[in-house]
Structure 1
């Protein structure tokens, strides 16, 4: 073999070694990316599950609070309704009494007016 052939084969070998090294480096990077991707996916999934649990817990607490408030409101409404019924009954009784007494007064007034004109 002459010098040119040796240099040419050496250059070819050098090129092949470089491409193999690049492939190895690239493959190593790809592997690192895949493992990092998997770990990130696991972290994200865990975080999402934790956040969903927190949200559910928050919702149950809010439902409990709303139920307490609703019971209080219903109790107050029923009390107000019963008070309103009582006041309505007393007002109706007073109105009945007033209407019974009122016609007698009206008659007396009208007679007075008539007598004044005459």
Structure 2
């Protein structure tokens, strides 16, 4: 057994080890950058989720008080309302935030008949 150790002993070359280590690190960094680029897109940014939350807030405001919807319209927020039938109203909301993300959403609000 002692003789086998003598034949299998290889002296390590420090330059070769360094090159192999740098290649492994480069491959890991490449994979990390690919994952980072796939995960952090404009559709997964915090501003995008903030914009979606703003649209949800507008939707609930329309349900609570539909008369205030005209006051909320501005350059970044365009609200188009249309009656589908006598008790169903469609709201098309186009929202553009400061980062240039454009979100369009359609909401349908059913008006309750008061008797």
The question of a shared fold, defined as TM-score above 0.5 by the shorter chain, is answered with no
Comparing both structures, which one devotes a greater share of its residues to strand? Answer: 2
Q: TM-score under structure 1 normalisation?
A: 0.37
Higher RCO (C-alpha 8 Å, min separation 6): 2
Comparing both structures, which one devotes a greater share of its residues to helix? Answer: 1
